[in-house]
Amino acid sequence: MGKWNSTSVPGFILMGLTDSAETQLVLSLLFLLIYLITVLWNTGMILIIRLDPQLHTPMYFFLTHLSFLDLSYSSVVTPKTIENLLTSTKSISFLGCFTQMFFFILCGGTECFLLSSMAFDRYVAICSPLHYPVIMYTGLCRALVTGSYMFGFIDSSVNAVCMSRLHFCNSNVIHHFFCDTSPVLALSCSGIYDLEITIFIFAGSTLVLSLLTISGSYVSILSTILKINSTVGKKKAFSTCASHLLGVTVFYGTMIFTHLKPKTSYSLGRDQVASVFYTIVIPMLNPLIYSLRNQEVKSAVVRVLEKSKDSR
């Protein structure tokens, strides 16, 4: 049985989602449509926020970076997935596989902490509205975003170092549609308990720390909302965080289901469905979640379009 360390692996084969040629064609067209919508909506969200001065607030500053991460998140996985669905080789180089894994975890980890920063922003807006401009000043917002990227980079770097120490025996077939940690770990023939524990601890710490921040923020938010006497006031307060709460629920639900478990509980079909949802579908849905019922964004779109017409 051949044995390669991680630096001598000739490449990997991504088995994808299905063996049916007809299903592969349908999925490739569906994923291409979703990806184009993702690029269009997230790029549009970034441009609208940048071009409209009335949206230059902390919430929309965070939302700009969320759209950038969703755009990056999808671009790391979807184009290669579409390519493999349309070709028979389905191969990916060692460097390509680990680069995809690195940036995928970087975007995912960063988004966890960015969602935490957005939860803190909503906490200040609802629980301390009079002090909001003082607390959420520009320097703090930039520090929170920078910290989110930094923690995401640390998480992905630790994962990359651990994965680089793996040895693979004979098979280089990844039973997944992209290079994720669990299916690559499943190929290893070396003792990986310590590496798996390290990866689990760092991934778990990212999820737990960010979830604790979000949970603490929403406990305080709920407590404040319940103290409001006016029904209209309660609805208005809840509406300011409803979109973020929905986005958090969808994102963390699939992330925890897929990643926060040991290799022994890895299930191909179940994890693939969840992975498709959070790598391809969620980046498309986030702009809708945060803007569909947001009158400020709709008004900003109208203002930007009117300015573009006037400038012609």
Residue 95 covered by a domain: yes
Residue 255 covered by a domain: yes
Residue 273 covered by a domain: yes
Residue 3 covered by a domain: no
pLDDT at 25 exceeding the cut of 80: yes
Q: Give pLDDT tens digits for 129-187.
A: 899 999 999 999 999 999 999 999 999 998 888 887 777 776 788 888 898 888 888 78
Residue 4 covered by a domain: no
Residue 115 maps to which CATH number? 1.20.1070.10
Average pLDDT over residues 267-281: 74
pTM: 0.88
Residue 127 covered by a domain: yes
Q: What's the whole-number average pLDDT of the chain?
A: 84
Residue 37 covered by a domain: yes
Q: Which is it for strands 173-174 and 12-14: parallel, antiparallel or unpaired?
A: parallel
Better-predicted residue by pLDDT, 25 or 235: 25
Q: What letter represents residue 186's amino acid?
A: A
14-28, 33-47, 97-111: range with lowest mean pLDDT: 14-28
Domain span holding position 169: 9-310
Q: Give pLDDT tens digits for 31-76.
A: 999 999 999 999 999 998 998 888 899 999 999 999 999 999 899 9
Rounded Cα distance, 294 and 289, in Å? 9
Q: Indicate the number of domains in the chain.
A: 1
3-17, 143-157, 243-257 — most confident range: 143-157
Residue 2 covered by a domain: no
